[in-house]
Structure formats: structure tokens, C-alpha cells
A = this chain, B = another copy of it.
Amino acid sequence: MSDRVPSDPTADIPAERAVVDLLGLVALGELLAFERMAADARLAPDLRRRAALGEMAAAEIANYRRLADRLGALGVLPDDAMAPYVAPLQAFHDSTEPRDWAEAVTKAYVGDGITDDFIREIAGALTEPDRRLVLDVLHESRYADFAAAEIRIAIEADPRVANRLSMWARRLVGEALSQAGRVASADLGALTALIARDERADVAGLFRRLTAAHTARMGAVGLNN
């Protein structure tokens, strides 16, 4: 988990509005990830794994609380900050309901990985205390390790699973990108401005970096992108 910062973190102090947008987006992401992981826990083959996914889920809602409290401190109702993102994030989850345990852990692994990379990219443009807060809500690596181990176990038990999960991961990324487009238009540009912090709209570069990191993560568990 590298902790990249831009060469000059004070180069562009983001507008309050963009910070609220970002905190709202991340907060809603945590809330919905919590619900979906908690629901997916029922797909677990035994109670130990079922509880493990439940604990991953619980970590998300704890992060949600920190973000919601910060929004409150900024004088914003968390619900208001999250509202613009409900439709696209809900649509992402609705369109990617895992059918079994292997798909559930792959979704957790892929989703958390990309989310963390995205948050790390954005964090550099924030000022304190928001920068620290946003970096703090990155997922614990033990959860990624758990999900990665479960994917490897599934592939070992039946090597054909690798192909199915690779396609599943591609679908997850495709749906995520499709909804990311809606997020970008929903936020009326404030968030995009935050991404394009050095005055060149480097959204293309952001996607390239996210995709490269995702491909590396896929390879690490025996899946291909």
C-alpha cells in the first residue's frame, strides 16, 4: 500500500464543495459496500468464512461513520452529500450480484483494490484533516489477503474457475467504469476538478494507473485481465 503524494501538495487547495463531494462519494461507497458484503456473507461455505466476510463488511460501516461525522463537522448533512451518488452506486451493486462464494470474494478483492487506489490518488489533492481521514479508510490488507487466499483456493479446487472469475472481474470493472461515468456527470465537475488537480485534466492518466494496478492484482491471484 504505497502512500503517494503529489510533488507539491499545496499546489491546488480544493474548494470546500469538491471535498464534500468526495467525502460523500466515499461515505456512500462504504455504506453500500457494507450492505453488499454483509449480504454476500450468506454465500460462504462455512460459518468461519461467513463471519470473516461479515467482519470485512463491519470495517466499512466504521469508516462510513468517520466520514459522516466529518461531513457533519463541515456543516453538511451526510445524506445530502451522498445523494448524487446513490443511483450510480446502487446500480453498480444491483448489476453485480455474486452468484456464489468465489464471485463474492472476487468482488470484494477487485472492488476494494480499485477503491483504495482511487482514494489514494485523490487523497493527495486534499488538505488536512481530510487527507489523513480519507487515507485512514483504506481497507486493511488482511482483508485483501483473505479474499486473495479464497480465490486461490477456489482455483486450486477447480482450475476452470479461473476463467469464469476472470470474466466476472472484467464485468465488475466494466460496470464500475460505466457507473463512474455517471458519477462524473452527477457531481457537476467539482470532483473531476479535484482529480485534475494540476490543471491538466488527467482523468485518462488516472484510469490508466487504476487499470495497471488492477491487472497486477488479477495476476497475483491467478486471474487474467
Q: Which residues of A contact B (CB under 8 A)?
A: 28, 31, 34-35, 38-39, 41-42, 46-48, 50-51, 54-55, 57-58, 61-62, 64-65, 68, 77-79, 82-83, 86
Contacts and interface: CB of A to CB of B under 8 A. Distances in A.
Contacts of A28: 47
Given A58-B61, A79-B46, A51 B39 contact: no
For the complex of A and B, the 8 pairs showing the least CB-CB separation, nearest first, are A38-B38, A58-B58, A47-B79, A54-B61, A58-B61, A48-B79, A34-B54, A47-B82
Contacts of A58: 34, 57-58, 61-62
A38 B34 contact: yes
| Max chain B C-beta neighbours (<10 A), residue from A41, A42, A47 | A47
A142 to B, nearest CB: 13
B68 A64 contact: no
A61 B65 contact: no
Contact of A54 (B42, B64, B86): B64
A94 B54 CA distance: 18
A64 B39 CA distance: 17
Contact of A38 (B39, B65, B86): B39
Given A38-B38, A38-B39, A39-B39, A31 B57 contact: no
A51 B38 contact: no
Nearest to A46: B79
B57 A38 contact: yes
Contacts of A82: 47
Contacts of A77: 48
